[in-house]
Chain A
Amino acid sequence: MKKHIFVNLRWRYLVFVGIFFITFSCDEKLETQPQGVLDPLTVVSSAENIDNLIIGVYGMLNGYNPSTGSAWQTSVTNWVYGDITSDDAYKGSELTDQGPALEIEMFSHTESNSYFNAKWRALYEGVKRSNDALRALNNSEFLSADAKAERIAEVRFLRGHFYFDLKKIFDNVPYLDENSETFFVKNFGGEELTWAHIEADFQSGIDNLPTTQAQSGRPIKAAAYAYLGKALLYQSKFSEAKTAFDWVVNSNAFSLVSEYEAIYDPSKKAENTETVFVVHHSIGDGAAGDANGDYGSILSYIQGGPGGCCGFYVPTQDIVNAHKTQGGLPLLPSADGIATHNAAPVNSDYGIPSDAAFSPYTGEVDPRLDFNIGRRGIPFKDWGVHPGTDWARDPVAQGVFSQKKRFIRKDQDAFAGNGAWGEQTTAIDYHIIRYADVLLMLAEAEVEIGSLSRATELVNMVRERAKNSSYIQNEAGNANAANYSIELYPDFISQDIARRAVRFERRLELSFEGHRFFDLVRWGIAKARIDDYKAFESSFNPNGTGYIPYISNINFTVGKNEYFPIPAGQIDLSSQGGEATLQQNPGY
């Protein structure tokens, strides 16, 4: 009897157990999808989504992406690669703060310097995003042929920009486009980026971009001509460059704004007719830490003064002196680049505390000096009179001036967001190309071709705007803050003088816009000019205190320092089958 019950029970339980096993059908669960992200098919599933992909390409324009490194290493402004390497600026801050940047300034950097890897990665992310967008556009069925061609041209323009930066900074770099099948591409031996690649991207813009755009951040046809002209100028193809720049000028798409200081005024973006191609910075747009602002400049505010931190990117005595004028005209360098403007330097408060007496320079100066450079005794925008030493982080080691272009006015707090520390990112745009730049590049081309009067006319257009701008006023607001004097050039009497004048004008007009070092390199005078600047500043002794000691250690090597090294980390990662696909640049 007992046995009987037990057997019955057993079978009942077995059914129960069986159900447990059989009801487990979990194939469906095991097919779970990624949560909270877009899959690649969704991204190309509508015209609107593809447009978002293109916005993503623009998203890399300002160079900032936390996974590459710090914003200042990769900033589109190129303040590290284009300005502190030149006679325009020191690294700033305390000597050892951002040591790798000091090495770059002194040209003692190695291929392991972290800045190069960060910059390289940020630029190639721009290239990668461009290629992703181009692939999506090529395969898209949502756009008309015309619309498609226009959007492709837009993305290729952006890719052209990223490649242009790679070319001028690193020279020998790998080229990948939307058809590339491998990431392992050589930077020598036929797979490298050539000027032809860059020209082709801008040519696509010329062929298919519209003459106007509803949104000012998108390039127009004339912008493509301007960038193509710049690419040609870098190759010394002067007549072809002239053709491109002439097209820009004749299109009347751009004009100089009347007030020099308005170029970088974030409240005047809408009426900035000088914008050829710009990086729009924005704050309060929902991005964490206002990182879509001018994040790359956050080290460049005044330590202990406006912005609060961190005292990097300090103007040199040499560029201050370069603003001296005689009869309203600059003191041009000799034909081989040796400055004449350093003979009687603008007096410096180096070594003088802010509470000790100091009289600012009373000689003639170009008004752009005080538009672009903060110096003791002159009102610094609406932040008050620049006190000199008190606003310098380490005045002994880094000098006493302040860069001014990346600053907002105090009353423009609405255009300032939040940064990582106390300093604030701003909505000040960065002009990759502005119209004055185009005019001066055209003037260069005209000089080389021999059209000196046209060159004079172009240079004078730029000078005239500076001349007619409202000058910086003294604290009381009743007179110019300094002895400003700027006049137009009479017709250039020789090609040599014209060349020196055009180049000098470029330095004055475009100071602190990240161009100077690259200009010196393409003019072939980097070594001569940097040695000249070093010689002057090493012996400069303004108040019996000597001057910034480390300048005597700047050492530019011809055949090497024209370009920066291919980052060691990238060479390491480029190995395929035991061979590095990337080779180091000459000299490193």
Chain B
Amino acid sequence: MKKITYLFCTFCVLLCSSLFAQTSVSGTVIDQEGNPIPGATIIVSGTSQGTTTDFDGNFTLNVAGDASLDISSIGFQTQTIAVNNQSNLSIVLVDDISELDEVFVTGYSSQSRKSITGAVAIVDVGALENLPDQSVLNQLQGRVTGVQIGKSGGPGGVPQVRIRGYANVSTNSNPLYVIDGVQTNSAEVFNLINPSDIESIQILKDASSAAIYGSRANNGVVIVTTKKGKKGADKVSFNINLSSAYQTPRKEAFPDFITPQQYADYLWLQQTNAGNDSPSHLQYGTGSSPVLPNYLTPAGSSTADLSTYALVPGPDNNPIKLANKQGTDWIDEIFAPNFLNTINISAGKSTEDSNFYISSNLSSNRGILRYTSFDRYSLRANSDFKVGDRFTFGESLTVAYSERKGSAGNQEEGGPINQAHRIQPIVPVRDVEGNFAGTAGGGLGNGSNPVAALYRDRNDIARTIRALGNFYGIVHFSDDLNFKSSFGFDYSSTSSSDLIPQRLEDQEQQTTNRFTEWNGVFSETTFSNTLNYSTSFGDHTIKPLIGIEFNVRKNRTFFGYRSNFASESQDFLYLDAGPAGDQFNGGGGSQVFLFSYLSKIDYTYKDKFFASASARIDQSSRYLKENRTGVFPTVGLAWRLSEEQFVQDLDIFDNMRLRLAWGQSGNSETPTGYPTASSFGLNGTTNNYDIGGTSSSALTGYASSIDGNPNLKWETAETFDLALEFGLLNNDLNIEVGYYNKISRDLLVRLTRPATAGLAEDPFVNIGESSNKGVEFAINYNGELSDGLGIQAGINMSFNKTEVTGLNPDNADQFLPTFDFRGNTITRIQKGYPISYFYGYDVEGFYSNQAEVDALEQSNGVVGGFKYRDVDGDGKITGDDRTQIGSPHPDAIYGINLGFTYNQFALSLFADGTIGNEIYDFKKYFTDLHFFPGTLKTSVLDSWSPSNPNATVPLISNNVTGQELPSSFYVEDGSYLRMRNINLSYTLPNSVNSSLNIAAAKIYFQVDNAFVITNYSGLDPEINVLNDPNNPRSDQNLGIDRGAYPNPRSFILGVNISLH
């Protein structure tokens, strides 16, 4: 390592000694608004001598008094100015409207759009400005090519961002987020960042652009830059944004459930079809037809003695509840309209030697699922100071506090959304005394009242305080050479309180409560030092950069609980208030270190040929010394064909650019910080044993808990990227077409071993290979239709094919089984298939007679039951006949936007969608099949019978079992088109502004999620993975609907006011 360090120093010396100054002219380069232009190039006309402006647009140059200067900067028209013996010049550059010259941060430095050689998507932040979301990530779906968002569901949920498909199988495919230079893999950080503080978002999609971030950039990088003070009039600019969103459930998407009478008839059918001529049921009586009872407790009664009411059922007492003969619509009961309100206040100013931006944000989101909310209070301060000529210091800092309340309810078997699909319709929400009613009484299944669950969890709360920021200093050795040292930190502390409440009204009661306090502290610090140089000679410009970086991630958690609290009032729920009997505590932590060298060089020839190359060397504490170092090189080229005569002769293209890039990046993000080490655990539950027969104490036992792999090494992704861009009609029409091929090798795979290996966590091994190939396409038009009527229209579409191209060279049939759903895994990861494809039996229809059953030799085959396809053709239906029954990956994702401006009015529409993905609706286990005594959808009315052979569901009979196995019965087309936003805004004319004494004002009305076109029968076709997208297993459970939180429809009214 030291050797490399010396090399770096030598490099520095070489760079620095090439600088010589002469007698100087100084000056400032500013834009039309008075903002300084840093990095503008000043060349003495006719020579190669020149310099660039510093952070504040200042420059100093030695020239003869009669010389002329050519001043150019990306995004501005080039100007020539005569010095005329002046020693102090003030130069105003005029905007060059071309987008091509916009400058973006792409990794430790900035680049103009036209010089970017890799796949960098630039998000139109302006279009996101007024969208009703607390996390900006939630709104990225369909906005740029190649980016897929798994919506989080529910207030404060964390979305899953995937760039160009899924590449990993045992670790998650999270991108790296870089916020003002602070790195994190946690999408959760966006819960604390006020979307209106965001100045720009760039998404680095390929290894060529991302690899400068090294080992954590395998799945792309999302770079976010927050706002700074804007230079303007000599006043502070002050903005206020207010918005209120009325969020409602999209009721038209809710499924239809059968009525209690239909349910009772169904139970009768179930028994008569099994040969029982005299069906009976606790609630519906005995006889040839069922009778709906008046009361459910006492079971099946026509009358009840209300004086015997008791909350806790006893031999002669009951929590008496009336039968809801009309049927309770549980989905309707748990969802209700609510508000998301936001207030932002910001102020900013920029002067000669300082710049500040502060903002505060208050955002309160009451979810459409009752008793769920997420509130955030955040404060941001960004500032820069120039000290003397050679130093700049600055910081960006956000501190936010949030409270997430209520049951998350999302994608959780047994969670309230899931329970609303399980509890029978005859159960009322409340009993005769107004207490919550449940399934006690008999024959009502083992669901539980989801309204009660939501209400009782209403004070479950997660409080997070998070500080994220970065302090930096820049030393300007010369105008061309600077050294930047930056210390970034992301610190968060979360404490959560969780009550498992008593639940006495249900068949399966919870008689004891439990209250848990959990606390976790996470920190990540990134210390980076970079040396930037820039020089031009003739038509050539080179910008080398070198640096080092040290990254430390630590976490520490603890929790404790007690049980049997005397009261569940919020005033009472502190651990001290619980009895000391059933109590428990635990905790843990980890730390991971990363040390890196980075280098990059950008080369430009005549503004038409661009090249860049970078290399990063990472050393991770996750690996042992022999495998610790990973080297990640990239190279990229861009050629502006439109600068060539033969294209200009065509007189069609205002811009034409070809770029191609190649690069490698790495991954070491195993869920454990120590994948090489084996360890033993102390686990009171599974290891300790009462060997003395005391009944109340146990000796400590050890057992192997994690098996490590000392030979583990870096996972590497190699990307090839090719794209062609066109600009036509004065660049009003822009078209971009790209192709990429990403191959991930030595995948970090946690291979499931047979049970003979024991239950210790399986080790990671570097086997496996995955491939993501795709085409991305975008077309945008931005022009004027007629006088004053502006139009902006665009469509983008991304096609991606994901495939596991290798998993275990020793075993062609190797697969990774994934999450267990009621005893079966639904998805598999296997060579030759998409990651996490759906796996099960392929339903061909139903057995219509015994001869068909016998012919196929299916052990649980039955007339009226599912007939599975004999995939292996051996004449038997066995486990070998399970096959691919769907894929959660869309063939294409797309976004469509259309905008009009006319005078003070603007209308914009945005829609997005997916094509070709499937959803595995696990809820059908409860709602469409009769193996679980819950509620049922109307689809069960179309059940198999000899006279109805083309039915939707199998024969309803107690004699029919085993039909619930994973099969294509659960799989539905998940394609959708969603009208995501319709926004109409009115900007006040200047005349009104001046009379109101404000700078600008805009009011807008917006409808979010106006409609969805889909064949999917569930609540919402956007299915989030798991509750926790950081869970390494979340990528193994894609597209499975266990009760996903649906997107609300919102009506938003907002106003933005700027004051000077």
**A residues within 8 Å of B by Cβ?**
2-3, 6, 9-10, 13-14, 16-18, 20-22, 24-27, 29-40, 42-43, 49, 52-61, 64-69, 94-97, 99-100, 102-103, 106, 108, 110-115, 117, 120-121, 124-125, 127-129, 132, 174, 176, 183-185, 215-218, 266, 269-270, 278, 280-292, 303-304, 308-310, 351, 354, 387, 390, 393-396, 415, 417-418, 421-423, 427, 429, 545-546, 549-550, 552-553, 568-578, 581-582, 588
Question: What is the bound-complex CA distance between A115 and B823, given in angstroms?
Answer: 8
Q: Give B1-42 interface residues, CB cut-off 8 Å to A.
A: 1-2, 5, 8-9, 12-13, 16, 19-21, 24
Which of chain B's residues have a CB closer than 8 A to the CB of A69? 820, 823
Q: Which residue of A lies closest to B751 (CB)?
A: A573
Q: Does B252 contact A (CB under 8 A)?
A: no
Q: State which of B278, B286, B702 has its C-beta within 8 Å of the C-beta of A43.
A: B702
* B280 to A, closest residue via Cβ: A396
A334 to chain B: closest CB distance in Å? 29
**Residue from the set B531, B962, B965 with the largest chain A CB neighbour count within 10 Å:** B962
Compute how far the CA of A417 lies from the CA of B456 in the bound complex, rounded to whole angstroms: 24
Q: B693 in the interface, Cβ–Cβ < 8 Å?
A: yes
Measured CB to CB, the nearest residue on chain B to A310 is B508
Question: Which residues of the other chain, A, contact B878 by a CB distance below 8 angstroms?
Answer: 111
Which residue of chain B has its CB nearest to the CB of A116? B823
Residues from chain A with a CB closer than 8 A to the CB of B592 are 32
Q: Check: B636 CB closer than 8 A to any chain A CB.
A: no
B residues in contact with A418, CB < 8 Å: 512, 514, 563, 582
Q: Is residue B477 within 8 Å, beta carbon to beta carbon, of the partner chain?
A: yes
Query: In the complex, how many angstroms separate the beta carbon of A142 from the nearest chain B beta carbon?
Result: 15
The residues of B with any CB-CB pair to A shorter than 8 Å are 1-2, 5, 8-9, 12-13, 16, 19-21, 24, 271, 274-276, 278, 280-282, 286, 313, 315, 390, 440, 442-443, 445-446, 475, 477-478, 483, 485, 503, 507-512, 514, 529, 531, 548, 550, 552, 563, 581-582, 584, 586-593, 595, 619-621, 625, 628, 673-674, 677-682, 684-706, 752-760, 810-815, 817, 820, 822-825, 859-860, 878-879, 930-933, 958-959, 961-962, 964-965
Residues of B within 8 A of A120 (CB): 755
Count, A-B residue pairs, CB within 8 A: 378
| A108 to B: closest C-beta gap in Å | 5
8 Å CB contact of A422 from B510, B699, B932: B510
Q: Choose among B1, B593, B688, B812 the residue that contacts A32 (Cβ–Cβ < 8 A).
A: B593
Chain A residues whose CB sits within 8 angstroms of the CB of B759 once the complex forms: 65, 67-68, 121, 125, 128
Check if A40 sits within 8 Å of B879, measured CB to CB: no
Q: A59-B687, A553-B959 are in contact. Are A429 and B582 (CB under 8 A)?
A: no
CA distance A282 to B697 in the complex (A): 6
Across the interface, B702 reaches (CB within 8 A) one of A49, A113, A429, namely: A49
Given contacts A32-B591, A58-B701, A292-B688, contact A421 B812 (CB under 8 A): no
Chain A residue numbers with a CB within 8 Å of B752 are: 573
Q: Report yes or no: B822 in contact with A546, Cβ–Cβ below 8 A.
A: no
How many Å lie between the Cα of A354 and that of B703 in the bound state?
Answer: 50
The CA-CA distance from A483 to B159 in the complex, in Å, is: 68
- Chain A neighbourhood of B705, CB < 8 A: 37
Give the shortest distance, in Å, between B1027 (CB) and chain A (any CB).
18
Residue of A nearest to B813 (CB): A575
Does the CB pair B823–A100 fall under 8 Å? Answer: yes
CA separation between A16 and B552, bound complex, in Å?
Answer: 23
A549 near B5: Cβ-Cβ < 8 Å: no
What is the distance, in angstroms, from A392's C-beta to the closest C-beta of chain B? 9
Give which listed residue, B483, B758, B958, contacts A125 with CB less than 8 A: B758
Chain B contacts for A270, CB-based, 8 A: 693
A282 adjacent to B582 (CB under 8 Å): no
User: Which 10 A-B residue pairings sit nearest by Cβ, starting from the closest?
Assistant: A114-B823, A128-B758, A422-B511, A56-B701, A282-B690, A55-B701, A217-B691, A58-B689, A37-B679, A427-B695
Dominant secondary structure of chain B at its interface with chain A: loop
- For residue B28, give the distance in angstroms from its CB to the closest CB of chain A: 20
User: Given the interface contacts A53-B701, A96-B932, does A110 sit within 8 Å of B879 by beta carbon?
Assistant: yes
Complex Cα distance, B689 from A568, in Å, reads 31
Q: Please give, as numbers and ranges, the residues of chain B lying within 8 Å of A287 by CB-CB distance.
A: 584, 684-685, 688, 698
Which of B678, B682, B814, B879 makes the CB contact (< 8 A) with A568? Answer: B879
In the bound complex, residues from chain A placing their C-beta under 8 Å from that of B811 are 575-578
User: In the bound complex, how far is the Cα of B694 from the Cα of A429, in angstroms?
Assistant: 11
Query: B12, B550, B590: which contacts A26 (Cβ < 8 A)?
Result: B550
Q: Can you list 8 residue pairs at the A/B interface with Cβ under 8 Å? A: A27-B1, A29-B593, A55-B700, A59-B701, A183-B754, A217-B690, A304-B442, A396-B281
User: Do B674 and A43 touch across chains, with their CB atoms under 8 A apart?
Assistant: no
Give the complex CA separation of A582 and B959 in angstroms: 32
A95 to B700, CA, bound (A): 40
In the complex, are the beta carbons of B689 and A6 less than 8 A apart?
A: no
Among candidates B9, B692, B820, residue contacting A114 with C-beta atoms closer than 8 Å: B820
A389 vs B821: C-alpha distance in the bound complex, in angstroms? 33
With a CB–CB cut-off of 8 A, which chain A residues contact B485?
Answer: 20
Known interface pairs A103-B860, A569-B817; 8 further A-B residue pairs with C-beta atoms within 8 A, sorted by A's residue number: A24-B548, A24-B550, A37-B705, A59-B701, A292-B684, A393-B507, A429-B693, A570-B755
A390 to B16, CA, bound (A): 91
Q: Which residue of B lies closest to A184 (CB)?
A: B754
When A24-B550, A290-B582, A310-B508 are in contact, do A38 and B681 touch as well, CB less than 8 Å?
A: yes
* Beta-carbon contact of B286 and A545 below 8 Å: yes
Q: Are A280 and B679 in contact (CB under 8 A)?
A: no
Query: Do B933 and A96 have beta carbons less than 8 Å apart?
Result: yes
A387 near B315 with CB under 8 A, answer yes
A215 to B696, CA, bound (A): 14
**B276, B694, B859: the one within 8 Å of A546 (CB):** B276
With A281-B690, A575-B813 as given contacts, are A103 and B961 in contact (CB-CB < 8 Å)? yes
| Interfacial chain B residues near A58, Cβ < 8 Å | 689, 691, 701
